[in-house]
Amino acid sequence: MKFNTKTIHGGQHNVDPAYGSVMPPIYQTSTYSQTTPGGHKGFEYSRSGNPTRAALERAFASIENGEFGLAFGSGLAAIDAIMKLLKPGDEVISTNDLYGGTYRLFTKIFEGFGIKFHFIGMENADKIEEHVNDKTKLIWVETPTNPMMNIIDIKKAVSIAKKHKILLAVDNTFATPYLQQPLEMGADIVMHSATKYLGGHSDVVMGALVVKDKELAERLYFIQNASGAVCGPQDSFLVLRGLKTLHIRMQRHCENGKAVAEYLAKHPKIEKVYWPGFESHPNHAIAKEQMNDFGGMISFVTKGNNYEEAIKIVENLKIFTLAESLGGVESLAGHPASMTHASIPKKEREKTGVVDSLIRLSVGIEDVDDLIADLEQAIG
Ligand SMILES: *Cc1c(COP(=O)(O)O)cnc(C)c1O
């Protein structure tokens, strides 16, 4: 099956043997009857497994070209499960420009459990190897990065990970498998905040992991069940429904993203636009190689880098909603320094480019003329 067919049919064969419903039923149940102790039909308790969630997990595996999918109660719960593969004393090399909540989980929770993190700029992937030692157990890659839209060379990171026998995980939330498929490039684990593009309708919080290796899948499944951060059947159904239009939504996100990026780049009040589709983007060549298109996420800074002016712009927007999150059908705007990245100290965030006037857009799938007109009236 090719990708557009997989988003609709991947792992969905015969989801309802009882009545043949095309969508899997929402099995709103915590437990399952047994004829004799252990005599069940594949499910015994909904933390351990639920048929609606299982249908979604098969869909996740299919669209990422993996073998095993796991669904969690949030993206951070999915990352938390990966981190529980590690032990005190282990070391992690992570990109320094990453989702603020991931940074908080790493530094405020897992550093306390004795795991050491090296946060580095991975735009030059050769730098990863400088931090490898015999305690390094995981390389954490987020690409495109949030919110600076840097692109990390996944294949190069994979070659370093394989050489030193280190696990490599990719947060594929921004790109989605429509744009890039890290498992195909040799990554061990793909992670998603399914809250974003996979769900696509800003109505669910959910996380996903996909792997190819059976032993790794079993370890992660053990953690999923033992720690228990699973998602419910209703949310599983909603994300499964969202997934079925991922490819057409992404196509429009990319088209609208390009038009908005080009509009902003020409605007006299704008200093710089961060979008990997520009030839002037420092990692454009890698983006072109490892991604099928450039997505609908854009960041920009205004001339003079004025905090109050940036706040005024995001307040003035009418079609773009000022809100956390991204990846839904509706366009959203955010001010990372005061919102998503407020948990990163100012000095740290400015090192990566998250300055006071940085505004991040999640360009939705509305008519692009309306989006540009909205930006025009808000920026002035
Ligand atoms: C939102 C997000 C997360 C966290 O996911 P939640 O579903 O909010 O827990 C992780 N990584 C990236 C890139 C995100 O955008």
Q: Is 99 assigned a catalytic role?
A: yes
Q: Decide: residue 36, CB within 10 A, 0-12 exposed, 13-18 middle, 19+ buried.
A: exposed
Which CATH number applies to 246-379: 3.90.1150.10, 3.90.550.10, 3.30.420.40, 3.40.50.150?
3.90.1150.10
Model's pTM, two decimal places?
A: 0.96
Model confidence at 348, pLDDT cuts 50, 70, 90, reads confident
Q: Is 163 assigned a catalytic role?
A: no
Domain with CATH 3.40.640.10 in the chain: 3-243
Using the atom order of ligand 1, give the atom closest to the CA of residue 76.
9
Q: Which segments of the chain does DSSP mark as H helices, in order?
A: 3-9, 51-63, 75-83, 100-104, 126-130, 154-163, 176-179, 214-227, 233-243, 246-266, 284-290, 307-316, 346-351, 368-379
Give residue 100's pLDDT: 85
Summarised one tens digit per residue, pLDDT across range 265-292 is 999 999 999 999 999 999 999 999 999 9
Protein residue with least CA distance to atom 8, ligand 1: 75
Ligand 1 is surrounded, with C-beta below 6 A, by 74-76, 99, 101-102, 142, 146, 171, 173-174, 193, 195-196, 205, 207
Cis (ω within 30 of 0) for the bond into 37?
no
Which CATH number applies to 3-243: 3.40.640.10, 3.40.50.300, 3.40.50.2000, 3.40.50.800?
3.40.640.10
Of these residues, 58, 137, 156, 196, which one is catalytic? Answer: 196
Q: How far is the CA of 171 from the centre of ligand 1 (A)?
A: 9
Protein residue with least CA distance to atom 6, ligand 1: 75
pLDDT, average across residues 81-89? 98
Among residues 214, 177, 219, 213, the alpha carbon closest in space to that of 194 is found at 177
Q: Give the β-pairing of 332-334 and 321-322.
A: parallel
Q: Is 47 assigned a catalytic role?
A: yes
Of these residues, 171, 188, 235, 293, which one is catalytic? Answer: 171
Q: Is 351 assigned a catalytic role?
A: no
For residues 165 and 154, the answer to whether their CB atoms sit within 8 Å is no
Domain with CATH 3.90.1150.10 in the chain: 246-379
Protein residue with least CA distance to atom 7, ligand 1: 75
For residues 152 and 95, the answer to whether their CB atoms sit within 8 Å is yes
